[in-house]
Amino acid sequence: MGSRSRRRVVQFANLPIKLLMPNSFTNIREIALKTIPSATKIEIKRVLESLYGFEVEKVRTLNMDGKKKKRGGLLIAKPDYKKAYVTLKSPLSISTNLYPIRIIEDDKMRMSKQTKSSVVEEEAHATTHWLDHKKEAQQPFGARNNRPRLGHPEAAAIAKFPWSSMRFASGSTIGSNSQSSKHTLKL
């Protein structure tokens, strides 16, 4: 019989690992990873030691639920994942020449400055809504677009409707019981 290998074979294709961005890039003692929920601590440790050459002290894991959203009555869920915090035996420093870390940091700084400055710019150059000009033209309730009131002499000259000329200059209307009115309407 053949001798067994001291280590179990790890299927690399079945164990995807995604490195989460560390806070600082010098003297890294702990790294965070995202992987599939079926990965064990031992498999994660062996992959990091054999494939990447890290000296792993311990692995702590968390089973995380994917984010869930409701859209139009349907529940849309991102897949569940396992988060692993790996403590290294010796501190690790990432070279800025090896990875575009400086570019990523500069982009973060530029984006944060841009979001702060865009708020100020929006206040200065506020885009108007297509109905804003109508709000400015609106008059208070009861205003009549600068037309003279009915019953005044100017109203007869500007009358738009045939029945608006039926009012008298004295302010009384046709058919009212006023004694000063001599005219009646015959239908």
Instruction: Give pTM, 2 decimals.
Output: 0.46
CA distance 156 to 152: 8
The whole-number pLDDT of residue 56 equals 92
56-82 pLDDT tens trace: 999 999 999 999 999 888 999 999 999
Q: What are the structural domains, with CATH classification, of the chain?
A: 12-69+78-92 (3.30.70.330)
Contact 159, 149 (CB under 8 A): no
CA distance 20 to 50: 20
Residue 97 gets which letter from DSSP?
T
How far is the CA of 47 from the CAs of 8, 16, 17, 56, 161, in angstroms?
A: 11, 10, 9, 10, 89
Q: If the chain, 187 residues long, is cut into consecutive pieces of 10 residues, what is the mean pLDDT of each piece?
A: 57 68 75 90 89 90 94 91 92 68 78 68 60 65 59 58 56 50 55
152-164 pLDDT tens trace: 666 555 555 566 5
